[in-house]
Structure 1
Amino acid sequence: MEDALNFYKSLAKRSLVSAECTYDCGYKDFIEGKVAYAINGEWAVADFEHHLRDDLGIALIPNIGKSAFKPLSSSLVLVFPDKSLSSNKAAALKELSEFLQSEKVQKRLYQEARFLPVNADLINQIKQQSNPNQAAMLAQLEQAVPMSAEAAQASAWLGLRKGFELFSKGVLDAAKAREYMQQFAERDYRQTQKQ
């Protein structure tokens, strides 16, 4: 973590990134051509394609020195509360689930939003017919590590953000920022579990 913070600070010192620019700012600046690159997820690809058209190029994220970059991956899932799958609505919920997983819907979700399908045949078809940008996105996702779906993950993101803010303002050095991130995340998680 300390290496990552110091690496990012070195990028900011060389004006390759702006430490004050948040996710939304970076997203907007990339679309407007104010910055040369953005690191983002597959959820943003459709919007980037819409705005940038042929000016969009997707590449694998390079290693940082000898360290390979391992992106996180997650899934959009359909969940049903309580015992709804054994209720009088079970048949309708099963029908909805099958509809959303159908090849037609999965294909449309990929075409319009770049959400990767759960259908293995459709994934193989996409791989075979992919353009260079799609191939790079798929190759990057193959290197991804699944992100935790635990409630603690939200607290971890908050801790990372708060610690990074203090680090980027020079309030904390990298080692103290790492400690702060951990402590903040643990405290936030404990508080959410009391509610």
Structure 2
Amino acid sequence: MYLTLLLCFSSLISAQEIQVWSGIEYSTVAEINERFEAETGNTLAIREFDINNIRSELLLAKQTGITMPDAIWIPSDFLGLHDYFDLAKVPFDWIEEQSIESKALELVTVDGAIYGVPLGLGNHLVLYVNTKLTKEVKPTWERLLDDARRGKTSLAMQYPNMYFFMAFVPMFSDHHSAPITDIDVGALAAAFKFYGALPKTGVVKDELTQDQARDQFINGEVPYLIDGDWALGELKQHFSTELMISSLPTYNNHHMHSLSGGKVLAFNAEAMENPDKRKAMRTLAMIVQKPEFIEDVIINQNLISANRSINRKWYDTDSSYYSDLYKELTPAYTMPSSVEMAVTWEALIRGYKRYRAGMPADSAAEFVVKFIKKHSQHIYKTRKSLP
């Protein structure tokens, strides 16, 4: 009896509750939780955030001394601010390097160290087509603009959204800048004008949420929807064989190029110093890289996994949309996990608001480029002064 009580007591002591903040795909994290609890006896306390708010919440928690999460499920471009989020370096032996996609490893590597476990690739935009409503599966912007002039709205798209907006910039540039944060002022100004005119011409509705745009498409109001790979799961519930994934529209024979990134699991540096939590988090990292987890959860959530061989297996499967998503990932521009990329989003929001308020497009574009340079340099200088 005494031994039984002692064993139970020691089990309670060693059990860990890992605090997880989730910025993307709550359903994926819930599945991780179920498997983590079953395998370890530990629990995940999951707090869900809108993707647009989690960055500011993490920075606020750091500045105010609020308890930081032990782990976070975030887009890979967040890793550029690993100092400010107090993210830990992930040991190399926590990563299944032999099977990982090279692009996935690149996304989690910052300043020569790994700061996250990659779970999914993609985060790219595609064109969804309802083939019951149209035979044209690759419309141009000229065609969409012409439809709008004739009083017919053919396209649904969340508006405004800076992630979506960035896919328009390459249509006005003859060169792919590397990294993508080296933005051409002329291309950015032209994109401001084109993108800003879309609701005025009736091509899209202004102030339209992601859900509202999807509802337009699902309800058969429009034949086309620009949305991310993350929308496929919901869309498959409403369509059967009439749903098709196609490439983004062209303009003057110039292609849009979506951004792409990864979905990563990252860990708090302070939590890593706790031996019991570190052990639990290592187990968590191993669980999400198991082939059965990847196939059951990542693939079935319509995500492109970070596992090279599993991706190839599903790419060759005709009965899924996997190959279509994978194909449209190729022309997408990879977001670097850098300080500049993290700053770019705030710069774009401010620049676009200025343009809509009346600032000339060229001036708004120059503002964005200068903002990225100025504030990135400030962060780098601040980093040098960190203890």
TM-score by length of 1: 0.78
Q: Contact (CA 8 Å) 1:31, 1:51: kept in 2 or not? A: yes
- Aligned CA distance change for structure 1 residues 18 and 44 (closer, same or farther; 3 Å): same
The aligned residue for residue 72 of structure 1 is: 259
The answer to whether residue 308 in structure 2 is matched with residue 120 in structure 1 is yes
**Residue in structure 2 matching 1:159, options 326, 347, 358:** 347
Q: Contact (CA 8 Å) 1:73, 1:141: kept in 2 or not? A: yes
Q: Provide Cα deviations, 1:7-41, integer angstroms capped at 9, x if missing partner.
A: 32454343112243354543443334444322222
Return the structure number with greater strand share: 2
Q: Partner letter of residue 308 of structure 2? A: A
Return the structure number with greater helix share: 1
Q: For residue 79 of structure 1, give the secondary structure of its aligned residue in structure 2.
A: strand
Runs (5+) with no aligned partner, structure 1: none
Runs (5+) with no aligned partner, structure 2: 1-187
The aligned residue for residue 288 of structure 2 is: 100
For 1:170 and 1:71, the matched residues in 2 are separated by: 26
- Aligned CA distance change for structure 1 residues 180 and 22 (closer, same or farther; 3 Å): farther
- Aligned CA distance change for structure 1 residues 20 and 6 (closer, same or farther; 3 Å): same
For 1:132 and 1:96, the matched residues in 2 are separated by: 28
- Aligned CA distance change for structure 1 residues 64 and 111 (closer, same or farther; 3 Å): same
Q: Contact (CA 8 Å) 1:60, 1:137: kept in 2 or not? A: no
Q: CA deviation at 1:177?
A: 2.3
Paired positions, count: 194
Q: Contact (CA 8 Å) 2:299, 2:305: kept in 1 or not? A: no
Q: CA deviation at 1:142?
A: 1.5
For 1:187 and 1:25, the matched residues in 2 are separated by: 36
Q: Partner letter of residue 350 of structure 2? A: K
Q: Provide Cα deviations, 1:104-136, integer angstroms capped at 9, x if missing partner.
A: 111122343212112222101111004474332
Q: Which moved more, 1:122-131 or 1:182-191?
A: 182-191
